[in-house]
């Protein structure tokens, strides 16, 4: 009798493309191994998934509460969160009625698709649905999303008078309705029977090694089909910039990067960003000369392989991809504690530099939308300048130890099997 193909259902948070690229990389490997592949996705990425493979089964369930409103204060350019609840409360995950409805829809999908395993990359609700139906779940988690790892802001304790937001209650109300035990740590919603960590311990350390957590190295290599790559046809140093990209707040980065480009007449630039933001006549001339390439989406793997330095905010997918190729990183204005945590580790190992939004004491702002008496911390004005970025690029280009340290980390990353190791773990589980 022919062996029945295993079914895998992928779920992910629909923020930046990092979560998507990890699950798409794993989905392709699963398909090659003869598994049937399905997804739960919000509307944002359904077309991306089906353009990759129209045979993938996609279930549309939003992972954002439509009643969420912009906060009654300006967003910080850098948010220093001490836990996931700041994000969860801001997105109205404290709304039990909405949470209950989403879990019900996810249970219906799981009953219909009947997966052998769920692989989840930070979708907050799917673990409840999987536990109700006793379907094993694999969590793709960085250390800040793993109960055995560091919390956000692990290098800085919260001030003693700071009231932190909490979002465990709404999840536990729904869990109780299904007879599940309450969660004690908010990170439990992201973890699984097994946790796959898309990193290496040197740059994503755990406080204590869990027997069910496994480093696998690089997962994020996938990029959309039909995204053609245009090469800079000159034998000059090249920079890949993934700051101010289309899926993130722009914060004036196009103007800053324009000035950086003009300060390096003998360097090429691949810019992931909106072309209509780079309309300076001098940049237009460089674009025609093919010394500067600006596109909404640039295949990162190919671009980074061409470059000497990578500019990014600290997103873990781009960081691992760059380091796996031995490319040093300049972290420009990380948005949040997750990114600055990664950046701190890389710079401590001599493979990059950080240009933070500010080095002043953190500012506070009242956040009544997150709970009574809650304040959030961060910076509301950026001190990132073209001169700071240009100085960092010059330092990295002229000091070879950054590249040598990045190449050392590449060796460590590439000793892992990435998607192959991850799918081996999945197959053992099911």
- Residue by residue, pLDDT tens for the chain (430 residues) are 456 889 999 999 998 788 999 999 999 999 999 999 999 999 999 999 999 999 999 999 999 999 999 999 999 999 999 999 999 999 999 999 999 999 999 999 999 999 999 999 999 999 999 999 999 999 999 888 888 888 899 899 999 999 999 999 999 999 999 999 999 999 999 999 999 999 999 998 776 667 789 999 999 776 665 567 899 999 999 999 998 765 555 678 999 999 999 999 999 999 998 888 899 999 999 999 999 999 988 888 899 999 999 999 998 899 999 999 999 999 999 999 999 999 999 999 999 999 999 999 999 999 999 999 999 999 999 999 999 999 999 999 999 999 999 999 999 999 999 999 999 999 999 9
Q: Which of 310, 334, 319, 323 is nearest to 396 (CA)?
A: 310
Q: Which of 172, 166, 16 is nearest to 82 (CA)?
A: 166
Please tell me the pTM assigned to this model. 0.94
Q: Given this model, what pLDDT does residue 251 score? A: 74
- Tell me the CA distances in angstroms from 188 to 6, 82, 137, 139, 146, one per residue in order: 26, 16, 12, 10, 7
Residue 158 is given by DSSP the state P
Which domains, and CATH codes, for the chain? Answer: 7-222+416-429 (3.40.50.2000), 238-413 (3.40.50.2000)
**What sign does the dihedral 133-135-141-147 (CA atoms) show?**
positive
- Alpha-carbon distance of 195 to 147, in angstroms, equals 10
Cα R_g (the chain), whole angstroms: 22
DSSP-based three-state secondary structure for 70:
coil
Q: Given this model, what pLDDT does residue 145 score? A: 86
Query: Would you report the helix, strand and coil content of the chain in percent, each value rounded to 5?
Result: 40, 15, 45
């Amino acid at each position: 009798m022919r062996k029945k193909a295993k079914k895998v259902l992928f779920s992910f948070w629909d923020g930046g493309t990092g979560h998507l690229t990890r699950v798409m990389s794993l989905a392709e490997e699963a398909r090659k191994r003869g598994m049937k592949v399905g997804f739960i996705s919000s509307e944002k990425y359904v077309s991306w998934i089906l353009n990759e493979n129209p045979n993938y089964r996609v279930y549309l369930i939003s992972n954002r509460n439509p009643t969420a409103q912009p906060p009654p204060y300006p967003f910080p350019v850098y948010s220093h969160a001490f836990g996931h609840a700041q994000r969860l409360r801001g997105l109205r995950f404290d709304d039990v009625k909405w949470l209950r409805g989403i879990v019900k829809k996810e249970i219906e999908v799981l009953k219909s698709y009947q997966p052998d395993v769920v692989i989840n990359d930070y979708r907050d609700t799917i673990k409840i649905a999987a536990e109700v139906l006793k379907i094993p779940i694999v969590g793709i988690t960085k250390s800040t999303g793993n109960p055995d790892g560091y919390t956000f802001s692990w290098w800085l304790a919260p001030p003693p008078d700071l009231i932190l937001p909490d979002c465990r209650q709404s999840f536990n109300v729904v869990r109780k309705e299904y007879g599940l035990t309450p969660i004690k740590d908010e990170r439990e919603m992201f973890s699984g029977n097994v946790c796959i960590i898309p990193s290496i311990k040197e740059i994503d350390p755990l406080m204590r090694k869990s027997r069910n957590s496994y480093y696998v190295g690089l997962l994020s290599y996938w990029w959309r089909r039909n995204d053609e790559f245009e090469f800079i046809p000159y034998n000059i140093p090249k920079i890949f910039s993934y700051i101010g990209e289309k899926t993130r707040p722009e914060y004036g980065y196009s103007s800053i990067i324009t000035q950086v480009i003009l300060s390096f007449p003998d360097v090429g630039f691949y810019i992931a960003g909106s072309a209509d933001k780079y309309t300076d006549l001098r940049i237009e001339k460089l674009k025609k000369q093919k010394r500067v390439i600006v596109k909404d989406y640039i295949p990162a793997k190919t671009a980074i392989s061409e470059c000497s330095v990578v500019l990014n905010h600290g997103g873990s997918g781009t960081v691992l991809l760059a380091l796996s190729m031995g490319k040093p990183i300049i972290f420009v204005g990380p948005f949040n504690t997750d990114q600055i945590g990664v950046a701190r580790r890389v710079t401590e190992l001599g493979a990059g530099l950080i240009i933070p939004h500010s080095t002043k004491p953190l500012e506070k702002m009242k956040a009544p939308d997150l709970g009574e008496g809650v304040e959030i911390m961060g910076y509301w004005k950026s001190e990132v300048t073209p001169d700071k970025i240009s100085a960092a690029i010059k330092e990295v280009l002229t000091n070879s130890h950054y590249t040598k340290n990045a190449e050392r980390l590449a060796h460590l990353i590439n000793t892992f099997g990435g998607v192959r190791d991850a799918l081996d773990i999945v197959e053992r589980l099911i």
